[in-house]
A and B are shown apart, each in its own frame.
Chain A
Amino acid sequence: MTTALPINVELPGLSGAPARQLGRWRRLPLKAKAGVILLGFFVLIAIIGPLVTPYDPGFQNPNPALSMNAPSAAHLLGTTQSGQDVLSQLLVGIRLTLVLALLVGVIATALSVIVGVAAAFLGGIWDELLSLAINVFLVIPALPLLIVLLGYLPHTGQTATILVLAGLGWPWGARVIRAQTLTIRNRDFIAASRESGESSWRIIVSEIVPNEVSLIAANFVNTVLYAIGASVALAFIGVTNLSSWSLGTMLYWAESQQALQFGAWWWFVPPGLAVALMGTSLVLLNTGIDELGNPRLRDANQRAKVNGRRLLPTDPTPVLHAALPSERRSPVTAFMRSFSRSAYVSDRAQRLSAAKPSEGER
């Protein structure tokens, strides 16, 4: 490894680095920023949450008056049927859910990189076989298989859940990474390093994989999203380890002890909302990454305005005085037409001419 990269030369200018990073942060799409902030919030809770829990999440208060209490000053998010503090469970549960999802993300992404790169790089019969495996596992629905698998495992600890989730979560990434590797391996710089006698391993590790970092990152985000959804769903239906607090087990207990029927919304809304917000942050992050790579998808507000309206790339040249007759339209046609581009221009021209009749008509 050549660690003495020219980056070291720039060390004196280090003071400019934070400013440059700030500039990069500003240029990020709004969605990516929102996603990072929201996800950061949950990571923060996962780190400090279990340290600041007001009560022991598992402590069952024997006082019958504390059963299913609505939120109050003593219990900010109320209590469960057996008098446990919901806020404490939430703070502890977010950590377990997030850690589990991140671990699944790391393992599954590693698997997809290995399988995807191997398929594209080895080619021939290996590619055929691995692609077939990828496609088969893509099309087999994961959750029923997960349920059956976890049902069979005698001791369903967290490790089993993580391994099973990761074992079924790799094909999506592998498919994308294989396609990307196929295009990269035909580039000139790969041919050059092969000519210079680099070993296949070295080409893969230091030429191909670094060129796929953004793809791998996007795939990691997607896999974490899948892991959160699947692990919470599995816990909710009660096939994973129910002895520890995660968002899914909270929902499981709330449902099985009839929080719904008793109207204890504070018991099942916070964990569900936490799952939904965590998922939203990841979706936002991924859309942001997509927009970085594909500028066309960016928000239209960032576009240049011409004559007070936003110009789309495929718009025809604006014509301000259209000679369209103002024929009557049925409401349906008018609605459909309101989505068309020419409606922008002609309606505006009509409105202009209606607002101030031209001098010539008088």
Chain B
Amino acid sequence: MPFILRRLGFYVVAAWVALTVNFFLPRAVPGNAVEAIMSKFPSLQPSAYRALEAMLGVGHAGSIWHQYVSYLNDVLHLNFGISSSEYPAHVSTLLAQTIPWTLALVGTATVIAFLLGTLLGILAGWRHGGWLERLLPALMFLQAIPYFFLALLLLYVLAINVHIFPIGQGYAGGLVPGWHWSFISSAILHSLLPAFTIVITSVAGWMLQMRNVMITTIGEDYVLAAQAKGLRDRRVIFGYAARNALLPQLQGFGLALGFVVSGAIVMEIVFSYPGIGLLLLNAVTSDDYPLAQAIFLVITFAVLLANLIVDLVIVAVDPRARTREAA
């Protein structure tokens, strides 16, 4: 399938760009990262300079090309170095601890929001001028609210004023993570509010986008023809109009994924949810550069992978994508 191969090639290039940016970032910063840390902590002795250099991989011996190759080799073997803030934990260990949390929460909530928003958008577009349309201004307001602000509000109202939900964290203190019911139920209870935040703030965007495409699609002749054939409305909506309107929506999903993930990162910080966003904040505030960079890479790769899945879905839904030469 040429389409999928082309897309695959594109993602490889994107991944390479992310890796390269990641490699040159600490080397292109004015001053260099070691001096930045030294200036942030005046109490550090000059002898710490060498240690910092070794830690950040700045003082590597050999040419820049040599460093680049060994860096790529390290990433390929998931060797991201040692975290300085949680010394002596390996960065990859920290990542392995936090990724499942974020994946379960952000992944599930995003898929739910996308499906719900698309369905609402189909209905709103089909019944253009109906009651769902009257909600549009409110939805635009929801769309414009920053994720973390809604998170703050929900936390304030539902967790602090009314004690329905816990104030944050991934599970109740004192529980040992594992596959037993008390832990799982606690984790689910703790993830409800964050998931709700993601769904509320992103559902409006999907809905508006789907509605707009749907309205344009309904004007097409094939929808009129389907109606003229006397097909049932459900068939016309989902088999003709929505199926075609879904393609731009899916492409938009891939592109907007970066935004959703970014918002979710900040949201995690509000809820002190033990995911990758909180880890990123801790890494940056404690100048743990190896960890911060590895997290950036992981998030980017996750978004690229999700995009690839979206492409596969597009190929499955759209016969044109299967035959089309250009991506």
Residues on A close to B: CB < 8 A? 31, 34, 132, 135-136, 138-145, 147-154, 225, 229-230, 232-233, 236-239, 251, 255, 260-261, 263, 265, 268-269, 272, 275-280, 282-284, 287, 290, 294, 296-297, 299-301, 303, 310, 312-314, 316, 336-337, 339-342
Contact = CB atoms under 8 A, between A and B. Distances in A.
A337 B233 contact: yes
Nearest to A153: B29
B141 A276 contact: yes
Interface string B287-327: 10100110110011001100100000000000000000000
Interface string B216-256: 10110001100110000110010000000000000000110
Nearest to B155: A260
A313 B219 CA distance: 7
B219 A136 contact: no
A55 B148 CA distance: 28
Chain A interface helix/strand/loop/mixed: helix
Contacts of B25: 148-149, 152
Interface of B: 10-11, 13-14, 17-18, 21, 25-26, 29-31, 33, 35-36, 39, 123, 126-130, 133, 137, 140-141, 143-149, 152-153, 155-156, 160-161, 208, 212, 215-216, 218-219, 223-224, 227-228, 233-234, 237, 254-255, 257-259, 261-263, 265-266, 269-270, 280-281, 284-285, 287, 289, 292-293, 295-296, 299-300, 303-304, 307
Contacts of B307: 139
A141 B258 contact: yes
B218 A261 contact: no
Given A148-B293, A151-B284, A233 B255 contact: no
Contacts of A283: 140, 143-144
A139 B141 contact: no
Nearest 8 interchain pairs by C-beta: A300-B129, A279-B144, A143-B262, A141-B258, A340-B233, A272-B149, A151-B284, A154-B36
A138 B255 contact: yes
Given A152-B33, A232-B146, A280 B280 contact: no
Given A141-B299, A303-B129, A336-B234, A236 B17 contact: no
A232 B257 CA distance: 20
Contacts of B33: 152
A280 B233 contact: no
A297 B296 contact: no
Given A139-B307, A260-B156, A300 B133 contact: yes
B14 A148 contact: no
Contacts of B265: 143-144
Contacts of A140: 14, 17-18, 21, 258, 300, 303
